[in-house]
């Protein structure tokens, strides 16, 4: 009789623990879904913002000629290349997630893709960033003076100014990284924490 009672008590404890574990997993799944959708929304907003910055350059190129036109087209292409590589990663992320299936693998895959998309942006910023300021300044001068010879003749300190603008990439990229941390880091950390909780 005592053995039967102990057996029933043990089954009850296991059932309670199983229900608690199931409730925890459900809570993590709901939290992960919410965080993921927020990250996806912010990534898509970033893609729209890059397009908003690049389109005026292309439009400006249609209404100009010579050096300025080439500079504007070059800047447009550099922005769109960065955007294209990021979108390739973002398109692998589904618009809606049902976490009732392969939760751990799915969260791990999403974290990997999100980090990869943000890494592409950092690489783009360090590769194209040093050219952005100088190209923008040259575009203004090209609008004013039309030819490279006139630009050089009327701007004796041009090289120093271009170098100074190129060095501005360091504080600008630092600010960009801070903005990305504000927009994405907390959610990525929450997804990572949820993944560890499920693996735990």
Contacts of 174 (CB under 8 A, 6+ apart): none
Taking 70 as the pLDDT cut, the residues of the chain under it are: 1-31, 96-103, 198-200
pLDDT at site 98: 60
pLDDT at site 200: 57
* CA pseudo-torsion sign 119, 120, 123, 128: negative
CA-based nearest residue to 117, from 179, 46, 60: 46
pLDDT at site 25: 58
Q: Where does residue 146 fall: left (phi above 0), alpha (psi -120 to 50 degrees), or beta otherwise?
A: left
pLDDT at site 113: 81
On whether the CB atoms of residues 31 and 192 are closer than 8 A, the answer is: no
Give the burial class of 139: count Cβ atoms within 10 A of its Cβ; 0-12 exposed, 13-18 middle, 19 or more buried.
buried
pLDDT at site 99: 55
């Amino acid at each position: 009789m005592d053995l039967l009672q102990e057996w029933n008590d043990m089954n009850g404890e296991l059932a309670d623990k199983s229900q608690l574990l199931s409730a925890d997993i459900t809570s993590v799944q709901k939290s992960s879904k919410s965080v993921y959708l927020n990250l996806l929304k912010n990534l898509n907003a970033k893609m729209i913002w890059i397009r908003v910055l690049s389109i005026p350059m292309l439009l400006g190129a249609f209404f100009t000629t010579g050096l300025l036109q080439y500079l504007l087209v070059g800047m447009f292409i550099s922005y769109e290349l960065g955007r294209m590589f990021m979108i390739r990663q973002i398109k692998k992320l589904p618009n809606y997630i049902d976490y009732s299936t392969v939760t751990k693998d799915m969260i791990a895959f999403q974290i990997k893709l999100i980090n990869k998309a943000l890494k592409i942006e950092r690489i783009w910023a360090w590769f194209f960033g040093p050219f952005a300021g100088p190209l923008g300044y040259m575009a203004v001068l090209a609008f004013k003076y039309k030819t490279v010879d006139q630009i050089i003749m009327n701007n004796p300190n041009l090289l120093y100014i271009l170098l100074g603008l190129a060095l501005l990439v360091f504080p600008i990229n630092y600010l960009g990284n801070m903005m990305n941390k504000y927009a994405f880091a907390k959610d990525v950390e929450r997804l990572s924490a949820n993944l560890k909780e499920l693996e735990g």
